[in-house]
Amino acid sequence: MSIIDTFQGMTVTPDDPFTNAATVVPSDTADLFFVSRGLLIYGPPDQAVPVKVTMKDGGTVRLYLTCGTIHRLRVSRVWATDTNLIADQAIVALW
């Protein structure tokens, strides 16, 4: 029996739940496969992690993102330079 998706065919809005996720490997040369709708930083709660990103419209900025919080960001790249992850931290793109 196949899974029933009662939301299939509906228009996606910015406030809808995420339907995809992928671990991000920061890179200075490669964009993400999809523009994110959010970033989640795994790590000890309430720690701020410096993350350099390129936003959907092309602006590049270094942000301090709190672990354990979904940050509603439309990001096309997470840079290796100026992104300082430590042990037990990871970035997940949500879309």
Give yes or no for residue 77 having a pLDDT over 80: yes
Instruction: Please give the model's pTM, rounded to 2 decimal places.
Output: 0.88
Q: What is the pLDDT of residues 33-67, one digit of tens each?
A: 999 999 999 998 888 999 999 999 999 999 999 99
Instruction: Render 38-92 in DSSP notation, one character per residue.
Output: EEEEESSTT-EEEEEEEETTS-EEEEEEETT-EE---EEEE-STT----TT-EEE
Would the pLDDT of 71 be above 90?
yes
pLDDT digits (tens, 9 = 90+) for 9-34: 888 888 889 999 999 999 999 999 99
Q: What is the per-residue pLDDT for 88?
A: 84
